[in-house]
Amino acid sequence: MKRVAVTLVTLLLAAPALALGAEGAQAGPENKPCENLTLALKLPKQVSKKKQPVRVKVEDVDAVFQALEDGLQGHVCRLFFRQLFEVKQKKESEVVFFPITQRVLRTVPESSLKGLPLFDAEGKEIGVYESRVLREKSGDNYRMPVRKTFGIQFKNPAGEYESSGWEFLGENYLLRWTDLKNQVALVSE
Protein backbone atom coordinates (compact mmCIF):
# COMPACT_ATOMS: atom_id res chain seq x y z
CA MET A 1 0.00 0.00 0.00
CA LYS A 2 2.89 2.34 0.84
CA ARG A 3 4.48 1.76 -2.59
CA VAL A 4 1.18 2.55 -4.34
CA ALA A 5 0.84 5.80 -2.37
CA VAL A 6 4.39 6.88 -3.24
CA THR A 7 3.80 6.08 -6.92
CA LEU A 8 0.50 7.97 -6.89
CA VAL A 9 2.09 11.03 -5.26
CA THR A 10 4.95 10.92 -7.80
CA LEU A 11 2.50 10.75 -10.70
CA LEU A 12 0.44 13.62 -9.30
CA LEU A 13 3.55 15.77 -8.96
CA ALA A 14 4.69 14.91 -12.48
CA ALA A 15 1.25 15.33 -14.07
CA PRO A 16 1.60 19.04 -14.95
CA ALA A 17 4.90 18.39 -16.72
CA LEU A 18 3.49 15.39 -18.55
CA ALA A 19 0.38 17.31 -19.60
CA LEU A 20 2.40 20.24 -20.94
CA GLY A 21 4.93 18.08 -22.75
CA ALA A 22 8.69 18.49 -22.80
CA GLU A 23 8.63 22.23 -23.50
CA GLY A 24 6.26 23.02 -20.65
CA ALA A 25 8.26 20.85 -18.27
CA GLN A 26 11.23 23.16 -18.76
CA ALA A 27 9.37 26.11 -17.30
CA GLY A 28 10.05 25.01 -13.70
CA PRO A 29 12.25 26.84 -11.19
CA GLU A 30 15.43 25.37 -12.69
CA ASN A 31 14.67 27.21 -15.96
CA LYS A 32 13.81 30.53 -14.30
CA PRO A 33 16.96 32.36 -15.54
CA CYS A 34 16.05 31.40 -19.11
CA GLU A 35 12.48 32.55 -18.66
CA ASN A 36 13.66 35.82 -17.10
CA LEU A 37 16.12 36.42 -19.93
CA THR A 38 13.54 35.79 -22.66
CA LEU A 39 11.21 38.24 -20.89
CA ALA A 40 14.00 40.83 -20.50
CA LEU A 41 14.93 40.50 -24.19
CA LYS A 42 11.24 40.68 -25.15
CA LEU A 43 11.36 37.35 -26.96
CA PRO A 44 10.04 36.13 -29.25
CA LYS A 45 11.32 39.10 -31.26
CA GLN A 46 9.11 40.27 -34.08
CA VAL A 47 11.56 40.28 -36.96
CA SER A 48 11.78 42.38 -40.09
CA LYS A 49 11.65 40.72 -43.48
CA LYS A 50 13.17 41.33 -46.87
CA LYS A 51 11.52 40.49 -50.15
CA GLN A 52 12.43 38.32 -53.13
CA PRO A 53 12.17 35.79 -51.59
CA VAL A 54 10.62 36.81 -48.29
CA ARG A 55 13.23 36.18 -45.59
CA VAL A 56 14.11 37.23 -42.07
CA LYS A 57 16.82 39.90 -41.95
CA VAL A 58 20.31 38.67 -41.08
CA GLU A 59 20.77 41.58 -38.64
CA ASP A 60 17.72 40.53 -36.60
CA VAL A 61 18.85 36.91 -36.42
CA ASP A 62 22.38 37.78 -35.32
CA ALA A 63 21.17 40.37 -32.78
CA VAL A 64 18.95 37.82 -31.00
CA PHE A 65 21.64 35.13 -30.89
CA GLN A 66 24.26 37.66 -29.69
CA ALA A 67 22.00 38.84 -26.87
CA LEU A 68 21.34 35.24 -25.84
CA GLU A 69 25.03 34.30 -25.89
CA ASP A 70 25.81 37.24 -23.61
CA GLY A 71 22.88 36.67 -21.24
CA LEU A 72 22.88 32.89 -20.86
CA GLN A 73 26.44 32.37 -19.69
CA GLY A 74 26.38 30.10 -16.66
CA HIS A 75 22.73 29.05 -17.12
CA VAL A 76 21.29 25.82 -18.46
CA CYS A 77 18.64 26.54 -21.10
CA ARG A 78 16.94 24.90 -24.04
CA LEU A 79 15.03 27.24 -26.35
CA PHE A 80 13.22 26.66 -29.64
CA PHE A 81 13.27 28.96 -32.67
CA ARG A 82 9.59 29.86 -32.16
CA GLN A 83 10.49 31.10 -28.65
CA LEU A 84 13.12 33.44 -30.08
CA PHE A 85 11.55 34.77 -33.28
CA GLU A 86 8.03 35.84 -34.20
CA VAL A 87 7.74 35.50 -37.95
CA LYS A 88 4.43 36.66 -39.33
CA GLN A 89 3.23 35.35 -42.66
CA LYS A 90 0.81 37.50 -44.65
CA LYS A 91 -0.98 34.42 -45.92
CA GLU A 92 -0.86 30.77 -44.92
CA SER A 93 0.68 30.03 -48.30
CA GLU A 94 3.48 32.63 -47.96
CA VAL A 95 6.89 31.01 -47.64
CA VAL A 96 9.30 32.82 -45.32
CA PHE A 97 12.97 31.89 -45.28
CA PHE A 98 15.48 32.05 -42.43
CA PRO A 99 19.16 32.83 -43.13
CA ILE A 100 22.01 30.58 -42.04
CA THR A 101 24.62 32.90 -40.52
CA GLN A 102 27.94 32.30 -38.78
CA ARG A 103 26.26 32.96 -35.44
CA VAL A 104 23.49 30.46 -36.22
CA LEU A 105 26.08 27.80 -37.08
CA ARG A 106 28.03 28.48 -33.88
CA THR A 107 24.96 28.43 -31.63
CA VAL A 108 22.32 26.04 -32.99
CA PRO A 109 22.77 22.32 -32.29
CA GLU A 110 23.80 20.41 -35.42
CA SER A 111 20.89 17.98 -35.04
CA SER A 112 18.35 20.83 -35.34
CA LEU A 113 19.43 21.66 -38.90
CA LYS A 114 20.41 18.23 -40.25
CA GLY A 115 18.03 16.96 -42.91
CA LEU A 116 16.19 20.26 -43.46
CA PRO A 117 15.61 21.42 -47.05
CA LEU A 118 18.15 24.08 -48.05
CA PHE A 119 17.45 26.98 -50.41
CA ASP A 120 19.59 29.49 -52.31
CA ALA A 121 19.22 33.30 -52.26
CA GLU A 122 16.43 33.14 -54.87
CA GLY A 123 14.39 30.63 -52.84
CA LYS A 124 15.18 27.66 -55.09
CA GLU A 125 15.68 24.35 -53.27
CA ILE A 126 19.30 23.25 -53.70
CA GLY A 127 19.45 20.23 -51.43
CA VAL A 128 19.34 19.05 -47.83
CA TYR A 129 21.46 20.44 -44.99
CA GLU A 130 24.02 17.90 -43.76
CA SER A 131 26.54 19.58 -41.46
CA ARG A 132 28.63 22.58 -40.62
CA VAL A 133 32.28 22.60 -41.62
CA LEU A 134 34.98 24.43 -39.68
CA ARG A 135 37.19 26.50 -41.97
CA GLU A 136 40.50 27.98 -40.92
CA LYS A 137 42.44 30.61 -42.76
CA SER A 138 45.84 31.67 -41.53
CA GLY A 139 47.29 35.11 -42.02
CA ASP A 140 50.09 35.77 -44.46
CA ASN A 141 52.59 36.32 -41.65
CA TYR A 142 53.10 35.41 -38.01
CA ARG A 143 51.27 38.44 -36.66
CA MET A 144 47.97 37.51 -38.28
CA PRO A 145 45.89 35.11 -36.18
CA VAL A 146 44.15 32.09 -37.63
CA ARG A 147 40.61 33.03 -38.64
CA LYS A 148 38.00 30.35 -37.90
CA THR A 149 34.61 30.42 -39.56
CA PHE A 150 31.98 27.89 -40.52
CA GLY A 151 30.75 26.76 -43.88
CA ILE A 152 28.01 24.26 -44.59
CA GLN A 153 27.86 20.94 -46.35
CA PHE A 154 24.69 19.78 -48.06
CA LYS A 155 23.44 17.05 -50.36
CA ASN A 156 22.21 18.29 -53.71
CA PRO A 157 19.14 16.69 -55.40
CA ALA A 158 21.46 14.18 -57.16
CA GLY A 159 22.65 12.98 -53.72
CA GLU A 160 26.15 14.44 -54.11
CA TYR A 161 27.78 16.45 -51.33
CA GLU A 162 28.47 20.13 -51.92
CA SER A 163 30.02 22.79 -49.72
CA SER A 164 29.52 26.50 -49.34
CA GLY A 165 33.29 26.99 -49.48
CA TRP A 166 34.37 30.46 -48.40
CA GLU A 167 31.19 32.05 -49.72
CA PHE A 168 29.34 34.49 -47.43
CA LEU A 169 26.52 32.52 -45.82
CA GLY A 170 24.15 35.27 -44.63
CA GLU A 171 21.67 35.55 -47.45
CA ASN A 172 23.02 32.90 -49.79
CA TYR A 173 21.77 29.87 -47.85
CA LEU A 174 18.28 29.81 -46.43
CA LEU A 175 15.98 27.46 -44.52
CA ARG A 176 12.19 27.52 -44.65
CA TRP A 177 10.77 29.01 -41.43
CA THR A 178 7.98 26.41 -41.19
CA ASP A 179 10.65 23.66 -41.15
CA LEU A 180 12.76 25.46 -38.55
CA LYS A 181 10.38 26.99 -36.02
CA ASN A 182 9.87 23.82 -33.95
CA GLN A 183 13.58 22.94 -33.85
CA VAL A 184 15.85 23.57 -30.87
CA ALA A 185 17.69 26.85 -31.41
CA LEU A 186 19.87 26.93 -28.34
CA VAL A 187 21.10 24.61 -25.64
CA SER A 188 23.36 26.29 -23.10
CA GLU A 189 25.21 24.68 -20.24
65-100: pLDDT as tens digits: 998 887 877 778 899 999 999 998 888 778 999 999
Confidence of residue 10 (pLDDT cuts 50, 70, 90): very low
> Between residues 15 and 145, which one has the greater pLDDT?
145
The pTM for the full model equals 0.76
> Which of the residue ranges 3-7, 33-37, 79-83 has the most confident prediction, judged by mean pLDDT?
79-83
Kindly tell me if the per-residue pLDDT of 161 is higher than 80. yes
102-112: pLDDT as tens digits: 899 999 999 99
Q: Transcribe the chain into DSSP letters.
A: -HHHHHHHHHHHHHHHHHHHHHHHHTTSGGGHHHHHHHHHTTSSEEPPEETTTTEE-HHHHHHHHHHHHHH-TT--EEEEHHHHEE---SSTT---EEE--HHHHHHS-HHHHTT-EEE-TTS-EEEEEEEEEEEEE--SSTTSPPEEEEEEEEE-TTS-EEE-TTS--TTTSEEEHHHHTTSEEEEE-
Domain boundaries, the chain: 22-188
